Amino acid sequence: MFSYLQSKFTIPLFLDARQNLLLSTQLNELFSKNEHVSITGENIVDLKRQVLDWTKTISVPLVWLQLDSLDVDPGRFWTVLVYGLRRHYPTLGQSLLAGIMDHHASPNPQVFHQFRKELVGKPFVLVINDSYLIQKSSVWKQILSLLDAFREESMLIFLDDKNKSLLEDDIKNLSSLTVKTDKKLSFENFKLPSYRNLLSIFDIWWLSWLKRTDILQDMNLVDALIAVGQIDFLSDSAIKPTLAARTWLREPSITIDYEAMVKNIRDMASWLVSQGEWLDAYRWFLFIRDFETACELLESQALPWLNNNGDALTLLFWLRELPSVLLSSRPLPAYLAAESTFRLGLNTQSRFYLTNVENNLEAMTRFSRSNPQQTDFQVTDGGLTFQQMVRMVHVMKQKI
């Protein structure tokens, strides 16, 4: 199953084997001095490749985080970061998760104090790609306040296009490198595979979708993406187009028909469900703000997925992408939040969500005048009854 969170921590795979020994030497020197660094260059793709060359020479774990515009929300950013760090240290960040109740609120200073203690003895190199996206948010100030905690054993590298970096006063907290990068990369010795070969190797759902819509009959996928400037070379994701690129491929015009775009996304999401990619379909329903459909999809798919070794932190992340009023006003999503936080060892949060479930069930009793009506009352479109929900809550309370 495609994982949005995993894709944010995909380490780039580049097709150009040239190395920049000067940059490697500079980074080795800074690493030995426990310095953090902000690196900028004129070509972000080449910049990534050069930094990746250096990371192959070090022995500490590497966490490579690709930011997007939504990561300005503090709770979301720190949850994503914990997800990435736990690929190397499975219990790291417990204090941070315990201090995050939603994606919009910032953890309090005491939470960061506990997180500093957790970092002791856990070295890593954290590369934050496109850090300019968060340099005007409270997240940036929180990261800078943690630099000393990272400094003993770890290193932070902020990668930015030279024309996009917003660093000014903060630069005094970081070493600064401006890297001369090639504006054109050389791929003479590498023949790009067709999109069909990429599909067979990487099994990427959006390639199936593009093929299904018959828009590539007279168009090479790679050429099309290069034409609109929406191509990235990533391992596991190969070449990944943005939403704008997909829209352009479907309707190559300057004017975007947003109603048609929403319809296309809804059709694509429905198709994803049929392919077993319900979690990514859920993400797209959230994108077009179809929260009701997203909730219904969550109610029908999430609990079986979680019970079949689904990742509790992934589920909690997506639950908190819902508007908080919706998460607290529907019994099953609130129960899913209680279940996922319990599995993460966040018992205080689990009790909070269980209270929301009980309040919702209590409100439902006002709509039925007899006990049999309450017992058979369905709380979800999937047929989950009031009585079954009450039993689930009772079992959960016994476990906490």
DSSP string computed for 177-221: EEE---SS---TT-PPPPHHHHHHHH--HHHHHHHHTT--TTS-H
User: How many Cβ atoms sit within 10 Å of the Cβ of residue 86?
Assistant: 17
Q: Is 115 left (phi over 0), alpha (psi -120 to 50) or beta?
A: alpha
- What distance in Å separates the CA atoms of residue 70 and residue 89, rounded to the nearest whole number? 25
Please say whether the beta carbons of 41 and 180 come within 8 A. Answer: yes
Classify strands 37-41 and 62-66 as parallel, antiparallel or unpaired. Answer: unpaired
Measure the CA dihedral 233/234/236/242, to 10°.
-80
- What distance in Å separates the CA atoms of residue 35 and residue 31, rounded to the nearest whole number? 6
Percent of the chain clearing pLDDT 70 (strictly above): 68
Instruction: Enumerate residues 6+ apart whose C-beta is below 8 A from 24.
Output: 53, 54, 57
In this predicted model, what pLDDT tens digit does every residue of 211-262 receive, in sequence order?
444 444 434 444 444 444 444 433 333 444 445 544 544 544 444 456 777 7
DSSP label of 113: H
User: How many Cβ atoms sit within 10 Å of the Cβ of residue 133?
Assistant: 21
Please say whether the beta carbons of 337 and 346 come within 8 A. Answer: no
What is the chain's length? 400
Mean pLDDT for the chain?
Answer: 75
At residue 310, the pLDDT reads 92
Highest mean pLDDT among 193-202, 220-229, 231-240, 321-330: 321-330
- Closest C-alpha among 180, 167, 168 to residue 128: 167
Classify strands 62-66 and 175-179 as parallel, antiparallel or unpaired. Answer: unpaired
The yes-or-no verdict on residue 316 having pLDDT over 60 is: yes
Q: Where do the domains of the chain lie?
A: 4-179, 195-256, 290-399
More confident residue, 80 or 234: 80
At residue 190, the pLDDT reads 32
Structure tokens at 162: 């030279």
Instruction: Enumerate residues 6+ apart whose C-beta is below 8 A from 341.
Output: 312, 316, 347, 349, 350, 353
At residue 305, the pLDDT reads 95
Structure tokens at 387: 């009585």
At residue 172, the pLDDT reads 60
Output the pTM of the full model: 0.77
More confident residue, 172 or 93: 93
Q: Which fold has domain 4-179?
A: Rossmann fold (3.40.50)
In this predicted model, what pLDDT tens digit does every residue of 356-384 receive, in sequence order?
988 888 877 765 555 655 666 777 777 78
Please say whether the beta carbons of 185 and 156 come within 8 A. Answer: no
Instruction: Enumerate residues 6+ apart whose C-beta is below 8 A from 238.
Output: 198, 201, 202, 204
The yes-or-no verdict on residue 68 having pLDDT over 50 is: yes
- Span of 122-131, 213-222, 283-292 with lowest mean pLDDT: 213-222
- What distance in Å separates the CA atoms of residue 30 and residue 110, rounded to the nearest whole number? 30
Structure tokens at 192: 């790009």
More confident residue, 195 or 222: 222
More confident residue, 20 or 353: 353
CA 120, distance to chain mean position in Å, is 25
Rg, the chain, Cα only: 23
At residue 291, the pLDDT reads 93
User: How many Cβ atoms sit within 10 Å of the Cβ of residue 204?
Assistant: 18
